[in-house]
Amino acid sequence: MAYTGSLTQTALWQDLQHHFQATRDTHIREWFAEDPNRFHNFHVEAAGITLDYSKNRVNQDTMKLLFQLARERQLPEKLSAMFAGDAINRSENRPALHTALRNFSDREILVDGTDIMPEIRDTVHRMEEFCWKIRRNQWRGYTNRPFTDVVSIGIGGSFLGPKLASSALKPYWDSRLSIHYLANIDGSHITEILKRLDPATTLFIIQSKSFSTQETLKNANACREWFLDNGGTENELCKHFTAVSSNIEKATAFGISEENIFPMWDWVGGRYSLWSAIGLPLALAIGIDNFRELLRGAFEMDEHCRTAPLEENMPVTMALLGLWYVNFYGVNSHAILPYDHYLRSLPAYLQQLDMESNGKRVSIDGNVLDYNTGPIIWGGVGTNGQHAFHQLLHQGTHFSPCDFIMPMTSHNPIDNFHAMLVSNCLSQSQALLQGKSEEQAIAELMESGMSKAEAIVLAPQKIIPGNRPSNTLYFPKATPKSIGALIALYEHKVAAQGMLWGINSFDQWGVELGKQLGDKVLKAIESPEPSEGFDGSTNGLIQAFHRMQGML
C-alpha cells in the first residue's frame, strides 16, 4: 500500500482550499441558525461516549470533503493494516499492536506467523495472580507484614498511562494500598516519596521496556539502596522488587528474579503500553476485574474504529477536524479541558501520546513535509483553567480548538457541585462559540451606568469574537470501561491523523539526541575541569554549575 503520495498537490486539496476560502468568515452561529438539527447532525456515539462536534467551523460540505480526503488517503486500509499487525512502524520495522492487548474477540493476531494472543492472555493471567497475592496479603514483605505501598518506577510511556488511569479511577482504589509514581530524575521527588514509606511494606515495580532508560535506572538503583540501607537484605530484594520489561537480561542483572519479571513486546510502543503489564500498578490499585473492564472499554472503541463507516467513526472524525484546523486555519495547538478532578492528568498524558506520535517533520518515506503536522497539546482541568488561560482562548490573537471532556455524573454527588461543574463546562464552550458583539458590549456598559460615549471607548476591550471551535465529549460516568474507551479514542485519533499526514506515528527518534548529549554533558558536569567542546552557552552554564557547587 502506498503510504504517502502528495497530500497537498491533489485536486481534492484544492477543493478543500476553495471551500476554506468560501467558509472561513462564516460564524458558527449562522450555521446553528440555519440548521436547527445541527447538534443531532454533528454528533457521533461510540463505546458509551458521545462526541458533539457541532461547535466546529464546519458544515456538511466541509465534512463531505474531509471524509473524501480520508478515503483518498486510504485511511480505512491503513487502519485495517494497523489492527491486522502489519509492520506499519516502518523505521523500526514493527507492528503497532497495542490493540491486541485488549482483543476480547477470538481473532488470532499474527506476528511473524505466530499468534500472539496466547502469550497476552497468559500475561494477564500472571497479572491476575500477582494482584490476587498482593491484595489478599499472600505475598508479604520481609517482616511478613502486608504491603501498604507500591512505587512504580518508570518514565514516559512507562509512567503516563498508568498514572492517568490511576488518578482517573481513584474511586475504585483498594484503600489498603497506596500507589506512588516515580518518574523524574530529581532528588527532591524521590526524597518526598520515600520519606513517607516503610521498606518492609513497600513493593517496587520497575517499569522499563528497554531497562536502559537513565532516569528509571537511577531511581531504581536509589530505591534499591534505600531498601538495603533501611533494614532489607540482598536475599529479600526479590520479595520487594518486580519489573515489567522486554530486557530480561538487564532486569535479572539488577537482581530481580525471572518469575517476577512481566513481559513487554517490541510490537507495543511505550506510549501505547498502558494495556500491557505496564498497567500493573493500576491493576493493583483497582483490581484485575476493573483492569479488564478498562481493556474492554478500549476494545469496544477498537471495534468501533475498525468497523464503523468513516462518517460515523469518532476517532476519524476527530482526526479530520484536527487536520482541518492545522492545515487550513494554520492552527498550531489544541487544548484538552477535562471537567473532572479525576481526569486532571489527561492533558499531560495526551501531550506524550499526540506530540511524541505526530511531532514529525518527514513523511514515512523520508520526504520533508511541506505542510504542518501534530499540534502542541496543552490544557488543564476546569474550572481552574477558566480563571487562568481561558482568557487567551476567548480573546487572544491565536485560536486553539478545544476538547471539553465531561462525565455527566459524579462519583461524589455532593450538593449541586456537579450541576455547577457541568454548567461551567457548557457555558465555556458556548461563550467560545457565541462571543460578545460590539453592540452587546456597549449595551452592557450602558446598563452599568456609563454614557454611550464612554461605553464606545471601552467596548473594544469587552468584545469577544466567538467562532472559536470546540468538541464536547461526554459519557455517563468515569468508570474503568469509559476511561478505557476514552484513552483508546485518542490513540486512534492520533494514529488516524498520522496516517492522513503520511507520517510514522509509532517511532520517536527526536527524543534520542537529547539522551545522547545527556551522557556527554553529565561527564563534563561531574568533572572539575573547565568544559570544552560545547557551544558557548552550554560551556557557560556548566561553569555556573561548577561555581555554585563550589567545584571551581
- Contacts with ligand F6P, residue ranges (CB under 6 A): 155-158, 208-210, 213, 216, 270-271, 356, 508, 511
In the complex, the smallest distance separating the C-beta of residue 245 from ligand F6P, rounded to whole angstroms, is: 8
Sign, CA torsion 435/439/442/448:
negative
Contact between 469 and 325 under an 8 Å Cβ cutoff? The reply is yes
Question: How do 376-379 and 333-338 pair as beta strands?
Answer: parallel
Name the residue whose CB lies closest to ligand F6P. Answer: 270
Catalytic site residue from 195, 259, 387, 532: 387
Look at the block and give the residue holding cell 527524543: 511
By beta-carbon proximity to ligand F6P, the closer residue of 244 and 421 is 244
Distance in angstroms (rounded) separating the CA atoms of residues 274 and 164: 10
User: Which alpha helices (H) appear in 230-275, and where do they start and end?
Assistant: 237-240, 248-254
State in angstroms the smallest separation of the CB of 155 from ligand F6P: 5
Query: Active-site residue among 215, 293, 303, 356?
Result: 356
Q: Is the peptide bond before 397 cis (omega within 30 degrees of 0)?
A: no
Give me 441's grid cell. Answer: 458590549
Out of 40, 133, 515, 520, pick the active-site residue.
Answer: 515
57 or 271, CB closer to ligand F6P? Answer: 271
Residue 327 in contact with residue 371, Cβ under 8 Å?
yes
Query: What's CA 281's distance to the chain center, in Å?
Result: 18
| Shortest distance (Å) from residue 180 CB to ligand F6P | 18
Q: Which is nearer to ligand F6P, 241 or 399 (CB)?
A: 241
Work out how close the CB of 17 gets to ligand F6P at its nearest, in angstroms, rounded to a whole number: 35
Q: Phi and psi dihedrals of 336, rounded to 5?
A: -110, 115
Q: State yes or no: is 356 an active-site residue.
A: yes
For residue 216, the minimal CB distance to ligand F6P (Å) is: 5
Helices (H), 110-149: 117-135
Residues 15/65, Cβ–Cβ less than 8 Å: yes
Q: Is residue 110 a contact partner of residue 116, using CB atoms and an 8 Å limit?
A: yes
| DSSP string over 183-215 | -S--HHHHHHHHTT--GGGEEEEEE-SSS--HH
To the query of whether residue 515 is one of the catalytic residues in this protein, the response is yes
DSSP string, 378-390: EE--TTGGGGTTH
- Considering the complex, state which of residue 215 and residue 300 has its C-beta at the smaller distance from ligand F6P: 215
**Beta carbon nearer to ligand F6P, 156 or 232:** 156
User: To which residue does cell 489478599 refer?
Assistant: 136
Closer Cβ to ligand F6P, 92 or 444, answer by number: 92
d(CA 400, CA 371): 18
From the CB of 212, what's the least distance to ligand F6P, in Å?
7
Nearer residue to ligand F6P within complex by CB, 361 or 452: 361
CB of 141 to ligand F6P, least distance (A): 26
Distance CA 354, CA 350 (A): 6
- Positions annotated as catalytic residues are 356, 387, 515
